[in-house]
Every structure is written in structure tokens, then in C-alpha cells.
Structure 1
């Protein structure tokens, strides 16, 4: 059973509205494609290009990108449309030599993706520490300002806040000065933030801040991830996942796992069930992503080399990603 069969067997639930979780990036930056409940051609293209060129911004032939996306069932026409749209968004830039065209990440997109990669790679690696206090963000906004209200909610969700009540959002983590400034800029004169401890008078008549999150749904998302990918580990260790299958699995495991930093606000362990599955999901992610680095890199290089040598194609491990893909050790590749 391959990864596609496993995904069909275990449907993934989404505890939040995906459009709310993944807002558009700030104005003036590269407009990375909005995350979707599935994998869009644009999203897959960005993940593929970043996974193998983020540290070098190497050029990938259009034919190679189209061929690689074909491994995900994306038609040649849809792949070329995705590339064109990414170029218009400022995510990739093109180069042409004769009849051949190539694309690479733009500098702004590479910078944003590197920062995002660090966030993904370091997610849930810091020691768990909580002083028992909650950050509370309170805002008021006319209902007719729907777009502005939606933008603020998206920014709060992006930062790990949960809605305790309609205009009251909470987080166990301190609010940084930068995050506060960005939220205030989005809602001038309409937002107040403070930090304090919960006053627990009668538990049966008050709402605990932890209820701002659907812990059952988040845990099930983690468990679904583990059920989907863990069965692939024996085949990876045996070297049985190669070629296009290695690239497909490595891309898809990243495309799925990268959502957890916004789905899971890293609530303190004291507030979570004893069997919280976050740690196991991270172990499985690393085992799949790092375990497929050699066969996936070999295949991407072989596809790209049909249009000429591409020495800048290099895959990276989760550990390397956590440093911004700057401390890369050589990856062994098959001789050609």
C-alpha cells in the first residue's frame, strides 16, 4: 500500500477553517499560494521547488517541474498554468535560453520560505514552560467591516490564539511586542491586550480558556497523520521507496505536516491529555522526510538533468531546515 492508498483510507479532518488558518502574506512580500484543504498545483510546485533548491535558488527547467507535478496527477496544462501564476505572484522568476525555459524562487519568496521552514522544523522542540498566565486579546469591530474582522481573526489564529468568546481570544503564550504592533496596526483603536491568571471561582459556571480549542479534533489530526505515514517507515528503511514515489511521499508528508504549527497552538503540557500525539507525529515526519532524502534527490536531479546538468539541486534534512538550510552536509547520491 503506497502513501496515496493510505491517505484515501484515512480521511483527514480539519478542526478550523483552512482559509482562516492560512491568511495571505503581508502586502509587499511574495504572494505565496494560500493553503488549501488539499494540495493545489501551485502549492505542490512551491513545496517541490523549495525542497530541492531553497538553499541555492537553482534553476529548474519548466519541463522538469511539469514532469514532477505529473507524479501527483497534475496535467501538463495545469502545471504550466500553476507556474505562470506563481510567476505573476512574484514567487518564481523565469529565464529562457533558446526554446528552453527555467524557473527559480525569487529572493523574497526564498526568504519567506526559509523562515517558514525554520518554524516548521523547530515546531514543538522548545522546552515546555508555562507560568500559569493567559494572554487575552479583546477587540470590537462593526459587523459591517467583515473583511477587516476576518483579517484580524486570521492573524490571531495564525499566532496560535483561540476564540474564547466572539471578540475575546486567548493564548497561554506571551504576546510579543512585534505581534502586538501588527495586531494594533490592523485594528487601530479597537483592540486591547493584557495577561493574567484565570480566577477560578466555580468551575461549573465558568468557561475554561482551554475550551477555546477543539483538542479532540487537533489530536485526531495528529493521529490521522501518524496512521497515514507510519506504515510507510519499514519500506523506507528497506530502501523500497524510490524514484517518483520517493519525491511524492516526501513532498506530501511536508505539505501535510507544515499545517500543524497553525493547527496546534503548543498549549502547555499541563493542560493537555496524557496521550497527546504531537511528539509521535513529529518523529514520523522526520523519519519520512529525512529517510527519503537520497532517493528523492536522485530522482529530481535525474529529471532535471534531461535538460542539462543541474548541480544546484540539493535536498535538506529537518535539522538543516531548522538552521535556515545554511549548514548543509553533503548528501550521498548515486553515481551517474
Structure 2
């Protein structure tokens, strides 16, 4: 995804009470992305209702996502169908990569750091807010005022897309040299205890997955949106510099296991309840 908009799309989602947009992203990623379909609004309302979201909240969120260019809407008779846009596909593909392929710890770190400093005018509140969100999603932590750091080599230009901030940002790559200690850098740039607490909370919440939702479809959406929020601010720190008993990998194993159990039934339920048309049919309307 070119602009890492998933960081902004999911910002502020509480893991214990997912916002409608988090669940909608999970729904579109799991049941629309890659299938070449538009799905009826009524079906989306039904699915979100199963996950405990009111019709009003779902409609408001769908309208907001459409205004932001994340959804394409067409009318067919009395029904409105919703499909993905190029931007939302990019967001969902990036979230898919983060959830299923990256892993929660970095086992191949070569000692390289990416350092980024920025200074923007006070009037650029939107740009500063957007850049901070993107930096967090990309694995950066704030080492000191205006200086951010991430393990490994990070492709920074995509983080600046649409911000017109190139002249206000400086980027370097390098290695820590004595007397600098990597452990001290990590403690300064990231709240390691809070990161660990997110994973422990996830483990606690999902020890009894049957208590989370009335059916497999809703459970799967709640599980995936919760996991995305749990990993959202995790920089994937080098494994050798993490504290003993780091809970990220046990939490990931639990997520993968529960997801594998829920997916077949969730997909079967979705096939039964979703009213869909093909993208080609939508283009004709």
C-alpha cells in the first residue's frame, strides 16, 4: 500500500470494543477482497449486527468510508451494492501482509536502523498527525524530540505520499556504535511493557473464543479486527533484544489457531447470507 492508510483507517480502534470500521475492514478483507464482487448493504448490516454493531453505526461508517474513496456504491433496483476501490484494495492487501506474513518478531535483523527526523510548520497539524500514524504502522518509535527510529531498512518515500513533506524530513540508515546500547535504544523509543500488555490482554480475551460472538462469522471478524489492533503499534523488534517470556509469539499462535478453526464455518455462513453481484455487473449499472 503506497500511503499506509491502514494505520489511519484503524486508528483509535479499541481492542475490547472494536469500532465498526475495524470490523468492516476485516469483513471486506476476508469476504470481498480478491473475489471480484460487490455486496449488498443489507448483507453488510446483517453481518455487523451479528458482531454487535447497530444499523445506524454501520450505515454511518459505510457512508464515511465511501466519502473517503474506500468504497464504490451502485444501485440495482431497490438495493445498494458496495465494492472495493483501488485505495481500499491497497489498504487490505497491506493489512493482509501484516497479519499473515510479517510475523510479530524480527528474526532476521542485521543490526541496521532507519532514522527519520522531521520538522513541520505548526499549521501542518493534519500532515504531522498523518505522518506519525504512518511511522507507527511502519515500525518507528520516537527516540527523542523529532527523531524516529525503526529496526531494519524501511522504505520511507511511500510514508510521505500526499503530505508534500519531502523538504521537512531527513532520513538516514546506520548501525549503533559504542557506547550506544541497543537495549537502551529500545527502552527509550518504545513502551515495551505496554506492547507486552497488549499481547497478554489478547491472550486473556481469547482463551474462551466461544464467549466472544454468537456465530463463527462474527467471531472471525471480531478475532481479526482485535488482532490487527493488537499488532498495530508493534515495531517487530529484534528477537535477540526482547525480554524473556515475550508474549507476542504465543499470542500469534493463538490467533492463527483460532482463525484456522473459524474460517471454514465463517466462509460457509458468509456464502449463505451475502447477496452479491460481480464487479462486471456493477460496472454496467
Instruction: With the length of structure 1 as denominator, give the TM-score of the two structures.
Output: 0.69
1:190 Cα deviation from its structure 2 partner:
4.5
2:90 and 2:121 map into 1 onto residues whose CA distance is 36
The more displaced of 47-56 and 82-91 is 82-91
Q: 1:94 to 1:280 in 2, by over 3 A?
A: same
Structure 1 85/144 Cα, relative in aligned 2: closer, same or farther at 3 Å? closer
Distance in 2 (CA, whole Å) between partners of 1:82 and 1:185 is: 28
Cα deviation, residue 141, structure 1: 4.3
Shift of 1:127: 6.6
Q: How many residues align?
A: 274
Which structure 2 residues correspond to residues 1-336 of structure 1 after superposition, within 5 A? 26=3, 33-38=9-14, 39-124=18-103, 128-141=107-120, 143=122, 145-176=124-155, 178=157, 186-200=165-179, 208-211=184-187, 212-232=189-209, 244-304=214-274, 310=276
Q: Following the alignment from structure 1 to structure 2, what is the Cα–Cα distance between the partners of residues 31 and 153?
A: 10
RMSD, matched Cα: 3.5
- 8 Å CA contact retained: 2:8, 2:130: no
Unpaired runs of at least 5, structure 1? 1-24, 313-336
Relative to structure 1, the CA distance from residue 189 to residue 49 in structure 2 (aligned partners, 3 Å threshold; closer, same or farther) is: closer
CA contact (8 A) 1:91 1:109 kept: yes
Change (3 A) 1:33 1:271: closer
Displacement of 1:85 after TM fit?
2.5
Q: CA–CA distance in 2 between the matches of 1:176 and 1:293?
A: 33
Cα offset, 1:260, TM superposition: 4.2
> Scaled by the length of structure 2, what TM-score is found?
0.80
Greater relative contact order structure (CA < 8 Å, 6+ sep): 2
Mapped contact 1:174–1:195 kept (Cα < 8 A): no
Please say which structure displays the higher CA radius of gyration.
1
Distance 1:126 1:48 in 2: 26
The answer to whether the 8 Å contact 2:69/2:85 transfers is yes
Name the CA shift for 1:40/1:51 in 2 (closer, same or farther; >3 Å).
same
How far, CA to CA, are the matches of 1:57 and 1:26 in structure 2? 23
Give 3-state SS (helix, strand or coil) of 2:83's partner: strand
Q: In the TM superposition, what whole-angstrom CA distance separates every residue of 1:19-39 from its partner, at most 9, and x where no partner exists? A: xxxxxx849x89984432332
Structure 2 gaps of 5+ residues are: 279-285
CA distance in structure 1 between the partners assigned to 2:8 and 2:160 by the alignment: 23
